[in-house]
Amino acid sequence: MGDGPVRRVLTRLVNDDNLDLYLLGTVALVFTVLGVTGISDVKTTSSVVVALLALLAFSQIRSRKLLEEIRNKGRGGPATLFLRELPAELVSRRAQARDLLLVGDSMSRTIHGMRADMIAMLEAGGRVRVLLLDPTDDALIEAADRRIERTLGPEHMRRRITSTLDDLISLRERTGGRVEVRVSSSIPSAGFNCLDTADPRGLVCVRHHEFHPGREAMPIFTLEPSDGFWFQHFVDEAERLWEAGTEWPLSAEAAVARAGRPVFRNEFGPELEATIDSATDLLVTGIARNSMVNSKYRWLERKLEAGDRFRFLLIDPDSTAVDTAAGRYHIPRTAESVRDRVTQTLRLLSELKAATDGELAVRLTPYPISMGMYVTDAALFAEYFTYQGPGNPKLVLQPGDGDSDYALLRNEAEKLWAGARPHQL
């Protein structure tokens, strides 16, 4: 038969993936005709039908296996998509990149490890952009540090970020290259290495910022332009983070905007009641504290009977501080009215001392204090006495606030107490 058209047709037919379906259809058609014409009896036709059903079942099994293979090839599976470590090709690809965007927490190891490659890239006219966490944002650094299981403390993370920023600025000054540095006021959900993303051979490597990772955070995955939508999705996210960042070093305006500031309020909330109620040692400073002692007389009595310690520092009614306090009030008051309020408070405290024989001490200061305080080991509640203005701004500080804010005001209160005159109750 040679290599004629019939042989080619038969060869294609034998190699066709649908051969089983052709045979199934042909046999079914033939025995349908034979059955209708009466040539084939019922017994033979029934046997053929059963055989056809078996052939159809095997055909379905084969089809399902092919579909599963197609799905697996398209999906790749998590073992193919996700990595435990940064891919080896990333290092070589970064060294050859012309445009690089890095987004992360401190990236100290990354910047240190690719310093030589970055110098070569910059000297060749390339561009490097790096976005790190803002080391001046205390709350941000603390939140990022809490995400790490084996934490060395927020100050350690701050030092790592600051060191990386210094290295990048030094690199820019040394090479005169296009090194752009920004800091972020939010914690990114992932770290990004974006390489030449505008080119057909671009690459983005994404590292998931895992909560309390055992070792290195993962999973890690890479995407290329051929991945279509998801490649551009993660590139766009990295670019949005960059656009939202602030140029480093911070300008004077940005530095002031980020400076830690106390949060004032009009009134103390329930935290004041809860804190002083649980305190066993309380120092109260103020002008007269007449309202506080009147409203909490029974509470003070119970606390003193329970063995708690109270100290009250008030202005001396026989000093010129009374005149200063009277002139400071928003509502006009006379020095005599202020003196009477202090005297009333002293009388109530004397009654408490006599009734409970508790650890209650009072001292009087000639200093016209401008801020009253409730001082405990857990928190300090400060109230600024505004000069002839309605309302007194209030502030709550805890031992961990700032470097020494709590300690500064507590030391002031203790120094006022130490220099005041003891009052015999």
Residue-range domain boundaries for the chain = 5-75, 88-258, 270-423
Cβ neighbours of 122 (radius 10 Å): 20
**Distance between CA 219 and CA 193 in Å, rounded?**
14
Query: What pLDDT score does 1 carry?
Result: 47
Task: Please spell the DSSP secondary structure of 108-146, one letter per residue.
Answer: HHHHHHTHHHHHHHHHTT-EEEEEEE-TT-HHHHHHHHH
Cα 239 from chain centre: 19
Tokens of 374: 């409730």
Report the pLDDT averaged over residues 78-96.
Answer: 82
CA torsion through residues 324, 325, 331, 336, sign: negative
Least confident segment among 67-71, 74-78, 339-343: 74-78
Tokens of 352: 């408490």
Q: Amino acid identity, residue 155?
A: E
Give residue for tokens 């804010």: 405
**Distance between CA 165 and CA 42 in Å, rounded?**
89
Residue 10, pLDDT > 80, answer: no
Sheet containing 203-208: order of strands: 220-223, 203-208, 190-195, 99-103, 127-133, 178-184, 246-247
Report the pLDDT averaged over residues 22-30.
Answer: 65
Task: Compare 401 and 249 and report the one with higher pLDDT.
Answer: 249
The fold adopted by the segment(s) 88-258 is: Endonuclease; Chain A (3.30.870)
Answer for the pair 338, 287: CB distance below 8 angstroms, yes or no.
Answer: yes
Report the pLDDT averaged over residues 342-356.
Answer: 97
Mean pLDDT computed over every residue of the chain: 86
Residue 158 pLDDT class (50, 70, 90 cuts): very high
Percent of the chain past pLDDT 70, that is, above it, reads 79
Over residues 93-142, the pLDDT tens digits come to 998 999 999 999 999 999 999 999 999 999 999 999 999 999 988 889 99
Q: Do domains 88-258 and 270-423 have the same CATH topology?
A: yes
The CATH superfamily assigned to 270-423 is Endonuclease Chain A (3.30.870.10)
Q: Which residues contact 167 (CB under 8 A, 6 or more apart)?
A: 111, 112, 115
**Distance between CA 152 and CA 140 in Å, rounded?**
16
Task: Please spell the DSSP secondary structure of 139-156, one letter per residue.
Answer: HHHHHHHHT-SS---HHH
Residue 376, pLDDT > 50, answer: yes
Residue 169 pLDDT class (50, 70, 90 cuts): very high
**Distance between CA 200 and CA 218 in Å, rounded?**
27
